[in-house]
Structure 1
Amino acid sequence: MAAVLADGRREAVTDVPRLVTAAQQGDAAALERLLGTHLPLVYNLLARAVGPTDADDLTQETMLRAVHGLAGLREPERFRSWLVAIAYRRAQEHGRRRTVELPHRFESLDVPDPGTDFADRSVAELLLSAQRRELVRATAWLDQADRQLLALWWQETDGILTRTELAAALGLQPAHAAVKLKRMKAQLDLVRALVRALDATPRCAGLERAAAGWDGRPGSVWRKRLARHLRECAACEDRATGLVAPERLLPGLGVLLVPDRLADGLGAALRKGVPTAGRTAAGRTAGWTAAGAVAAATAVLLAVVPWSGPDSPAPQPPAPVTAATTPTTAATQAPPPSEAPSASPSPSPSPTASARPAAPGPGVAVADLYVAPDGSDDADGSLAHPFASLARAASAVRPGQTIALRGGTYRLAAPVGITAAGTAGQRITLSAYRDEHPVLDAAALPDSAWAVTQSGGFWTVQGLELRGAAGHGWVCTGCRSMVFQRLAFHGNGRSGLLLRDAGTSGNAVLDSDFYDNRDAAGTAGIGLGLTFGSGAGNVVRGNRFHGNATDGLDLGGFTDPVTVDSNWSYRNGNGFTLGGGGGRAPVAHLVANNAAWDNSGLGFNDEGNPGALRLTGNSALRNALAGFYLPDAAAELAANAALGNGRDVQRAPKSRSSGNSWDAPAADLFASTDPAGAEGPRPADGSLPAGAFLLPRTAAGATMTERPGS
């Protein structure tokens, strides 16, 4: 791979691991060279994702996070993919903010900041080719997610990133990344043809009629409307003839030169002092020994960001040890996992200092198989001679049986894979034993690992705590008829619980708490996700999501409706993200009797889903950007209440609104706006805490109680 220097020259990247190691040991020159060499990579990625106007600040923030997080990077050879992942997350966060603050502003890549060197040095290159100009203009028609992905792929076509590094930034396998790229390139071809058709002289009469009322600014609504004409018009369809493959055009657009003030600021910050890290005998980071350097870097780079720990490398898809019902050969199966249990729970590795109670509720009194911290995987799994690990029990269980976990902490030494499935008539149950408290602690697993990966279905999982995975906590792939209830999944890096892939149907997530899930950088992590999959009949009810870095509940990329009923989501990035298939395909989720409060972004968010969302009897309080942000959905909103949000509601013209607090404003919406009781322990039966918080004084708003079986 090649690195692009600040002046546009390239040099081979051959000594990055050595520079990383030296910088971690306190070598100031190594740190300055390491970051200086990669500064153009970060700046080019961000400038092409968000536009040069905003790239300076995001680049500064990315590099500062890298300074803070470098000590925690355990694999120096992954520095580039780790740094790109940090930058990519900054672009995603920026896109979320700009979508709310400036929903109609589109900043094309060919509109540079006139105050930077880009304006003087790069415009000439952008004018070299008509097709390159068309391509750059076409990017303004892409959705934000596609523009961000294009920015990554641009670096790949220019030889700066490998496909593996690109996939790592997305948190996907290369094969899955290739699918996303294929979809993005199809959209890029479409908008390039659209730009040509709009530029044609004379313009097609049918296109002229289709564009009646268009104000000349690119946007998703007009893209869809005009693209419909392109597909139906032979003359306009011919405009795509002769388009050169973007792989041949992107490298010719040249390198965006890093503004002198940005490069000089980074150098000045580093020369004021260098953070150094010691290493313990076990190879773990002991911590920065020159804290003044970080303060100096912060002051010079003017980046004010919250810190909850060092950035962790972007997670790779896991290779869990599978606890299957049938044996596998050594050639295809990793060695069986071992879990090192301890008799007493250890402190939670959650990034936040405040401890939260596990979801209570009685466990099973009788089981077929037992697991205990002082058991043995060579035992028979009886109450008197329990197994020591969940993996061992999962490999032995049969349809219709029950596994009981005794209280204590089970420290996972390897990822757990579960492939045993029950049947409709013979479900498998995994449960706490009586009133004991079992804890699965995944803190020792690699950053890329998913703590538990499950497939199949017809299980009930209840009464467990799962914490500390640097990657995902519990991932159910293509699962059906699962029941997850009375759980506490927290302190994991990417998600607490994730249901994904085709065939995800008939599942219920009930009466559980998903909280403080965030990566080491504190910028990514969701509580519960039903994402990138399909399947009917999924229900989310009676849960609390709080303190998660991005979303409490995320339905992005799920192509079938999900019922979201009687849940609370608070102090996350966003409360409820109600996306559709791929963020754009219409999906009509049913969202009733939920509450979102004190989220730093949005309470209820359609994430570009144009589907007929149904939101009934929900409440939004003090969400920083918006309570109900539904600019794309053909939503039906009835009896919802919003108070004290940055903006109470923003909805699409095609949506319908009746009986909501904004339809007939009331002076006094709620009995109380103090959430202390709602955020406290659950009752013994695992239900949501009762109290006066957000109890509606009118007909609009959530009841703040769970509606059983709804």
Structure 2
Amino acid sequence: MAALVAEAMPLVYNVVGKALHGSPDVDDVVQETMLRVVRGIVGLKDPDRFRAWVISIAYRQMQDRGRSIRVATALGPLVGDVSEWPDPAGDFVDSTMFRLHLSGERRETYEASRWLTAEEQRVLRLWWQESAGLLTRADLATRLGLTPAHAAVRVQRVKAQLALARTLLRAWHAIPRCAELAVAGGKLSGPSDPRWLKRLGRHVRRCEVCLAHERELIPAEHLIAGANLAPVLAGLAGSAGAAATAGGAAAPAWSLWDPLQRAVRYLMAKFLPVGGIVAIGTAGAVVYAVAYPPYQESGPGLAIPSVQASNRASPAAPTTGPGSTSAPTPAPAGGVNGVTTASYYVAPNGSDTNPGSVDLPFATLDRAASVVRPGQSIALRGGVYRPTRPVEITTSGTADRRIVLSNYRTEIPVIDASGIPADAAYVTQRASYWTVQGLEIQGAPGNAYVCRSCAHSVFRGLSFHDNGQTGLLLRDADTTGNLVVDSDFFRNHDNATNGEYADGLGIEYGSGTGNVVRGCRLYENADDGLGLHEFTGAVTIDRTWSFGNGVNRWEIAPFDGDGYGFKLGGGTQPAPVDHVVTGSAAWDNAGYGFTESGNTGTLTVRRNTAFRNGKTGFAFARSTSLLRQNLAVGNGRDTQFGAGVDAADNSWDQAGWSDAVLLTTDPASTLAPRTPGGGLPPTTFLTNNRDDGIGASMGP
């Protein structure tokens, strides 16, 4: 009984935590579910249905507590009675299988996995458990009988096969279906099995129509991101199991009721908030539960702090086109003249036992973030920092008492985050009313900086580069009123996932209004410059450059970076969102310059330039977008519009436009130092001598 409780509790936390969206009632529902499991175990006729039976109890408990509407929203339509679901252990780790039912994309992933071979499914199960934290890479390698290095190669191959299977599944269900795929599928008889993927996969890999579905896939590992997955409670199983053995191996289930009830309640009582995350402490085990939403204030709109920038970027050799493999010298963002005094100071030679004064500074940002309060500021002194643990920011400022994280005066703090664990962002901010400026973050194995449900925060004068995933990512619900300005996000690349998910800047997987990106450079990232994948609030993008993205500069094989300059949508069923893009430019990207990426909204796209992109300059096939005074020349294809697009007064609506009318096609000046105020460097690149009212002005 103790072993069963220990096995089931992480599963129940996954189910309840996801469905109730972080409600404080999660603990109560989990406790009641577990008590009913212990009471009712004697009535379970088929042991193979244990996990599905536990899930059904959890689901009914959520319904009984009056949350049926929220639960239905979170879980989506259920197929039949959950008590009749088969044991998922044959296909995925238990808790993950249920989560695959929580959204269409997860269910789709489960279905696509059936096209994998038995051995591929075995590797996938083990990798999924590793991603969930239930196995280490060493454990996975041991079970496969391989070295960790060979195991990593095997996992990458299986992930590639799963992505192909998911793409095939979408292409097969698309309306209308690709005609060639339909013909190829008609030649296969019998139920779908791995030979379908083997034969139809050849077609998918070379078909642009079918490959279009691949570009909207959420990474498989992201499907469990944020899940409240937990290791097995070995401590509980060990202690209770030993007690049962001491009392006699034949002790009936009901005889364990009282000690188990006390044990479960004891565990519930041990929940303590730690840095915005709720954790259980037991002997040798940790359970991560639900992170509560950050404290937020209502108040007036976002005010940009009055700070000036210094000119400290170094020129760099530009890329020469979408196929270039040149490696220009990084050009950091214009360094801001930071705060002259601060509440707390951090320096590379400081100590976290110090009081954090200018003479006795802290050593880590983590320490400073733990003590700062509304109206206070943190100053990072110049030099190189090499942190070994992630930073959690959970204290919010207010509209009139913002919290400032800044460089000190004209000093340049460079944070080498290569020592941070690969499964964590260097900084995770879950707070509002912050100003973050003048920082350089490089080398993080994952994201450099993630802001979750942040509101009214300013990010300016930043340089995030050469990180393992997206440089700056704003995500989740209530991402509202944030400003990203005068910053550079470049050369971020995810070697482990084939360059498929590392963007320069992302505002994704969430909702919120009033977010603005202005005066930024997004370049030479493995995937896209700017991504708005599955974000349901309108974002304004102004005077921003995105270039050289999606080029394999790191010899990643296979390489799957899309290379979109501005990805203005995306997802399984992209929401209609009315983003606004003005005065911006996309050039030398491997993929599209500007694309709605399935967004069916009414986007406003005015005074932008697309030049020399590998695919289409302006691709808007499904939306009802408005395009005015845009310039497109030298792209693989300048435009691709659907019937609902309203495009007029653009370069392609007039005769005589070509790259010959551009003052220069040499982009070297775009990587020059920023202006003293932090703005984009002045350049004549992509400006024209025919009509200065067409295209981006390219000025600061």
Question: Considering the TM-score relative to the shorter chain, is it more than 0.5?
Answer: yes
Q: CA deviation at 1:528?
A: 0.4
Tell me how far apart the structure 2 counterparts of residues 405 and 595 of structure 1 sit (CA, whole Å).
Answer: 33
> Which structure 2 residues correspond to residues 155-554 of structure 1 after superposition, within 5 A?
167-168=220-221, 170=223, 172-173=225-226, 324=275, 353-359=327-333, 360-520=335-495, 521-554=498-531
Kindly indicate whether residue 539 of structure 2 is the aligned counterpart of residue 562 of structure 1.
yes
Where does residue 688 of structure 1 map in the other structure? 680
1:415 is displaced (CA, Å) by 1.4
Question: What secondary structure is seen at the aligned counterpart in 2 of 1:677?
Answer: helix
1:363-415 per-position Cα deviation (integer Å, ceiling 9, x unaligned):
11111100000000000000000000000000010100110001111112111
User: Residue in 1 aligned with 2:589?
Assistant: 599
- 1:125 and 1:472, CA in 2 relative to 1: closer, same or farther beyond 3 A? same
The residue type equivalent to 1:414 in the other structure is: R
Sort the Cα spacing of 1:74 and 1:44 in 2 relative to 1 into closer, same or farther, 3 A: closer
Alpha-carbon separation, structure 2, partners of 1:93 and 1:493:
24
Q: Which amino acid aligns with 1:646?
A: G
**Amino acid of the residue matched to residue 364 of structure 1?**
V
Q: CA–CA distance in 1 between the matches of 2:612 and 2:180? A: 33
Conserved 8 A contact 2:379-2:407? yes
Partner SS, residue 375 of structure 1: coil
TM-score for both structures, normalised by structure 1 = 0.57
Aligned to 2:576: 586
Q: Which letter does structure 2 place at the counterpart of 1:83?
A: R
**CA pair 147-686 structure 1, distance change in 2 beyond 3 A:** closer
Show CA shifts across 1:624-661 (max 9, x none): 11100111111100000001001111111111111100
Query: What is the match of residue 222 of structure 1?
Result: none
Partner of 1:679: 671
Aligned equivalent of 1:701: 695
CA distance in structure 2 between the partners assigned to 1:640 and 1:83 by the alignment:
42
Code of the aligned partner of 2:534: G
Residue 354 of structure 1 deviates from its aligned partner by: 3.2
Change (3 A) 1:77 1:431: same
The one-letter code matched in structure 2 to 1:671 is L
Partner SS state of residue 525, structure 1: coil
CA–CA distance in 2 between the matches of 1:93 and 1:623? 24
**8 A Cα contact 1:324 1:420, kept in partner:** no
User: 1:451 deviation in Å?
Assistant: 1.3
The aligned residue for residue 610 of structure 2 is 620
Structure 2 CA distance for aligned equivalents of residues 674 and 172 of structure 1: 41
CA contact (8 A) 2:467 2:493 kept: yes
Instruction: Verify the 8 A CA contact 1:466 1:489 in the aligned structure 2.
Output: yes
CA distance in 2, matches of 1:413, 1:386: 18
Can you give the 5+ residue segments of structure 2 that lack an aligned partner in the other structure? 1-89, 92-115, 125-143, 194-208, 230-271, 289-324, 550-562
Q: 1:326 to 1:388 in 2, by over 3 A?
A: farther
Distance 1:554 1:112 in 2: 34
Q: 1:624 to 1:328 in 2, by over 3 A?
A: closer
Cα deviation 1:468-495 (Å, max 9, x = unaligned): 1122110000000010000000111120
Measured against aligned partners, the alpha-carbon deviations of 1:594-622 in whole angstroms (never above 9, x if no partner) come to 00000000000110001001000000000
Three-state SS of the structure 1 residue aligned to 2:471 is strand
Cα contact 1:620–1:643 (8 A) shared by 2: yes
- Partners of 1:506 and 1:539 within 8 A in 2: yes
Q: Tell me how far apart the structure 2 counterparts of residues 605 and 675 of structure 1 sit (CA, whole Å).
A: 22
Consecutive unaligned residues in structure 1, runs of 5 or more: 1-11, 14-37, 47-69, 128-142, 153-165, 177-320, 335-350
Contact 2:167–2:211 (8 Å) recurs in 1: no
Assess if the C-alpha contact under 8 Å between 2:564 and 2:589 holds in 1.
yes
Contact 2:168/2:210, CA 8 A, preserved across alignment: no
Residues 173 and 604 of structure 1: is their aligned pair in 2 closer, same or farther, counting only changes over 3 Å? same
Is the partner of 2:370 in helix, strand or coil? helix
Contact residue 563 and residue 590 of structure 1 kept, 8 A? yes
Aligned residue identity for 2:158:
V
Cα drift, residue 333 of structure 1: 10
1:650 corresponds in structure 2 to 640
Question: Is contact 1:325-1:396 (8 Å) kept?
Answer: no
* Structure 2 contact 216–572 (Cα < 8 Å) conserved: no
What is the alpha-carbon distance in structure 2 between the residues aligned to residue 353 and residue 453 of structure 1? 29
Q: Which moved more, 1:452-461 or 1:681-690?
A: 681-690
RMSD: 4.1
Identical amino acids, percent of aligned pairs: 42
**Residue 435 of structure 1: how far off its partner (Å):** 1.0
Q: Residues 327 and 108 (structure 1 numbering): CA distance in 2 closer, same or farther, change over 3 Å? A: closer
Q: 2-side partners of 1:596 and 1:665: how far apart? A: 22
How far apart in 2 are the matches of 1:705 and 1:510? 15
Q: Output the CA distance in 1 between the equivalents of 2:585 and 2:176.
A: 28
Letter in 2 for 1:357: A
Distance in 2, matches of 1:650 and 1:326, equals 46
Structure 2 Cα separation of the partners of residues 690 and 673 of structure 1: 15
**Corresponding residue for 1:245?**
none
In structure 2, give the amino acid aligned to 1:432.
N
| Contact map agreement 2:449 2:472 (CA 8 A) in 1 | yes
**1:495 counterpart SS class:** coil
Q: Letter of the aligned partner of 1:596 in structure 2?
A: A
Offset at residue 705 of structure 1 (A) = 2.0
